[in-house]
Amino acid sequence: MENSDKNQPIADKTEVHVHEHQAPKQFWRKRNLIIGAGCLVVIVLGLAFVLTNKSSKPTNQQSYNQNTQQSTQPPPQVNSVTDWASPDVYTQLPECNGQQLLSAMPLDDGTNYDFIPLGLINATGGHAQPSDHPYFDFVGVDKVMNVRAPGNVTITKIRRISRVVKGVSSEDTSIYFMPCKQVGFYFNHVHLGDVLNKAFPASTTSDQLHNCQTSTPPGETVTDCYELAGSTVKVKTGDILATVHISAQQRGWDFGGLDARAKPLAFANPKRYSGDNFHGLTPLQAICPIDYFPSAIKEQAFSKPGFSKRPSSSRCGEINQDKAGSIQGNWYADSSGGYVGDWAKLLSIVHYNLDPSVALLSAGGGLGQGGILAWGPTSSTIDPEPSQTTVGTLYCVMTNAGDGRRSDHNYATNHHILLQLTDATTMKAEYKTGSCTSSEQFVSPILYYR
């Protein structure tokens, strides 16, 4: 058994061996076909795998583009009404350079206009003391006017004002705008156009952007709300910002300005004027916006009738008329009130902004129901020149013939007011019936302070 292979005929082994060597081409062809088919399968499977992965996975360039897509997109435009900026966005404005920062009157081309100078007095209508802004004035006009951007500016704040006077409600709006970092301007008593209404919706309830204060001047309830102080909208010269219906009830709108670079106004008590008008600018830095236009536009404005009686030294008017040691200037019926405080506690003895030869006493309240009494100044203790008065002397003012044109008729007629400085910063005042006499004395005076 174990030698069985040896017992096999040699021819059998030889036959097998001879078969391998007798057909070598067929053997190698068959093996190569098998190997080639296997390689082809591997290649096909590999290609399928690569294609599958390529369709589901980005290339390096695709991956880079996807990861950087947000950073390579242009930033959103600031003037889009849906974009909001941080409250300090005004600090990103360019530095102010020079005074020519505005380029066109904010009116439709060809509009005839006049101005009311700085220092308007309206005792019970918001300005018991000289106003810190001039006004556009349109007499005998009844139409809706556009209020346009006077330059390429950034709108930084909207102020909404509601009033209830004798049960009748009314609302208007102020627009605050800046051409550069240190200077701001504003329009009061306008009605926003569609674009700004969308940019500054009144429905916001954010404490940061919705700061309301209520005051109660005689016969009124006034609520002021500063809306969306952190929002900004960039506009170009001539863009329509708002409208105003000019009529006998509203002859124009306010146009004010403040400049952080300006020398502060030298009021007797600057602390009374420290309230923030907007973005850190205060009434101490109030300026005449007409001075910020090109020369031709500025001179055309100052040629208007409203400025015709102004001296060249103060042709835009005066806000501060305080004169230390005299009765002239602003007074307050409490020790802590301010320029934008309770109207009923405000008093001023100044010169008429349209005609400085006329003296005015304006009381927001307290002295009677509040109002204006005007006189032509004399060198006497009756109807004195305010700037020439002194401590300790008793003065009496009343409306003299020909000067009643600026007095409030009901307030001034058959009335007079006694005034006396007890020291340089304290004054007694009393509203009395009848005309001034040589034997006047106080009965129940009100104390006013600088």
∠ CA 271-274-275, nearest 5°, is: 140
Phi, psi of 245 (to 5 degrees): -85, 105
CA 201 to chain CA mean position, Å: 15
Return the SS3 of 65. Answer: helix
In whole angstroms, what is the distance from residue 101 CA to residue 24 CA?
102
Inter-CA distances, 149 with 102, 114, 116, 173, 326, Å = 9, 18, 20, 15, 42
E strands present in 247-352: 254-259, 286-287, 329-332, 346-351
Contacts for 227-230: CB closer than 8 Å, 24+ residues apart: 227/157, 227/158, 227/159, 227/160, 227/200, 227/202, 228/84, 228/157, 228/158, 228/199, 228/200, 228/201, 228/204, 229/87, 229/156, 229/157, 229/278, 230/84, 230/85, 230/86, 230/87, 230/88, 230/89
Residue 277 backbone zone (phi > 0: left; psi -120 to 50: alpha; other: beta): alpha
pTM: 0.75
User: Which pLDDT belongs to residue 56?
Assistant: 40
Spatial neighbors of 100 by CB under 8 A, at least 6 apart, are: 292, 293, 294
Contacting residues for 226 by C-beta, under 8 A, at least 6 apart: 157, 158, 159, 209, 210, 211, 212, 278
The pLDDT score that the predictor gives to residue 393 is 98
First to last CA, the chain: 140
Q: What is the pLDDT of residue 126?
A: 75
Tens-digit pLDDT string for the chain (450 aa): 433 333 333 333 333 333 333 444 454 455 555 555 555 555 555 555 444 444 443 333 332 233 323 333 332 232 322 223 345 667 788 999 999 999 999 999 999 999 999 999 988 777 899 999 999 999 999 999 999 999 999 988 888 777 777 777 777 889 999 999 999 999 999 999 988 887 777 654 443 445 667 777 666 777 766 655 455 789 999 999 999 999 998 999 999 999 999 999 999 999 998 766 667 788 899 999 999 999 999 999 999 999 999 999 999 999 999 999 999 999 999 988 888 777 889 999 999 999 999 999 999 988 999 999 999 999 999 999 999 999 999 999 998 755 556 889 889 999 999 999 999 999 999 999 999 999 999 999 999 999
pLDDT, tens only, 43-54: 555 555 444 444
Angle at the Cα of 244 from the Cα atoms of 239 and 245, rounded to 5 degrees: 140
Residue (of 162, 172, 177) closest to 244 by Cα position: 172
Beta bridge partners of 291: none
pLDDT value, residue 27: 45
SS3 call for 248: coil
Calculate ∠ Cα 220-225-229, nearest 5°. 160
State how far the Cα of 252 lies from the Cα of 248, in Å rounded to an integer. 10
Q: What is the pLDDT of residue 406?
A: 85
41 phi-psi bin (left φ>0, alpha ψ -120 to 50, beta other): alpha
Q: 10: buried, middle or exposed (CB in 10 Å: 19+, 13-18, 0-12)?
A: exposed
- Assigned token pair, 178: 């800046």
